[in-house]
Amino acid sequence: MIKINCPSCGAEIPFRSSTSVFAVCSFCKSTVIRQDLDLELIGKMADLPEDISPIQLLMSGRFDKKTFFVSGRIIVKWEDGYWNEWYLNFDDGSTGWLAEAQGDLAINKPVASGLTMADKTALQLGSKHSLDGRNFYVTDVKDMTCVGSEGELPFRGIEGRQSLNVDLSDRKGGFASIEFNEEDGVSAYVGRYVEFKDLKPKSFRVFSGWGRP
């Protein structure tokens, strides 16, 4: 872990993941871009909307026999609501995302898709698409806008970042997601739906009056 002082308030900003290039200072909410050991101040993050997620920064858990911890989050808005994308760092050095939408959780990891920005309109609802050797069906196509972020991220999680998001499912509980972003290009992820309890979570958020999961 590298700790670099915030160029705005001087507080330490930890970089726990070597893949992180962006962070939000937990004290002054400044947003910074990291280049080696230098931090470039790019702005300030507004207050994040409240939500009832049991997931929080530094929560750890297990997935596919590997331990992960949550190092960052972006909050995404679409036409009819919000969802969270939690950035995961696994103990084998790999990364992934825990998507949390309407109480449903899915973990997926980056895969090569061979898709280009030109394929943006090719993925229609219900259409079949093969990813990582598995057959998926498009279940959802949404325009999304980042409304805020926290922690550290592998890209600029700034407000207003816009993408087209395509969700896919298969017949066995698999989940895949493809993001089309003008700046970062096409990113594809493959994984599956999970239950919160099955992640054997530690350091998660506890809600009074709701017991434990």
Partner 1 sequence: MGETVNTKKSRRKATQVKPVAKSFNCPSCGATLNITAVGRSITVVCKSCRTVLDATDPNFSILEKAHKSHKVSPAIPIGSRGTVGGKMWECIGFMQRGDSYGYRWHEYLLFNPYHGYRWLFEFDGHWTWFKRSYELPDLTSNEIEYKDQSYKLFTKGSAEVFYVVGEFYWRVKVGDKSKVKDFISPPYTVSSEKVENEEVWTFGQYLEPERIKKAFKLDGKYFPEPVGIAPNQPSPHKAEAKKALKLLFFAACFMITVHIFRSASSMKKEVFHNTWKRSFPTSRVERAELKKAFNTRPFELTKKKSNVKLKGSANVNNSWIWIDALLVNEQTGKGIPMPMEISYYHGYSGGESWREGSHNSSRVIQNIPPGRYYLSIKTQVGGKTIRDINYSVSLIQDVPVLSNLIISLILIGIFPIFKFFRRHSYEVQRWSTSDYSPYSEE
Contacts with partner 1, residue ranges (CB under 8 A): 49-54, 56, 58, 80-82, 102-105, 125-126, 137, 139-140, 169-173, 175, 192-193, 195-197, 202-213
**What secondary structure letter does DSSP report for 209?**
T
Nearer CB in complex with partner 1: 185/213:
213
Q: How far apart are the first and last CA of the chain?
A: 31
Nearer CB in complex with partner 1: 21/159:
159
Nearest in space to 138 (alpha carbons), one of 146, 148, 147, 129: 129
Minimum CB separation of residue 112 from partner 1 in Å reads: 24
Minimum CB separation of residue 35 from partner 1 in Å reads: 32
Minimum CB separation of residue 40 from partner 1 in Å reads: 31
Minimum CB separation of residue 211 from partner 1 in Å reads: 6
Nearer CB in complex with partner 1: 100/152:
100
Nearer CB in complex with partner 1: 32/74:
74
Nearer CB in complex with partner 1: 154/191:
191
Asked whether the beta carbons of 83 and 74 are under 8 A apart, the reply is no
From CA 144, how far away is CA 162, in angstroms rounded? 6
Please calculate the CA angle 156-22-18 and round it to the nearest 5 degrees.
Answer: 130
Asked whether the beta carbons of 36 and 52 are under 8 A apart, the reply is no
Dihedral sign of CA atoms 31, 34, 37, 38 in order: negative
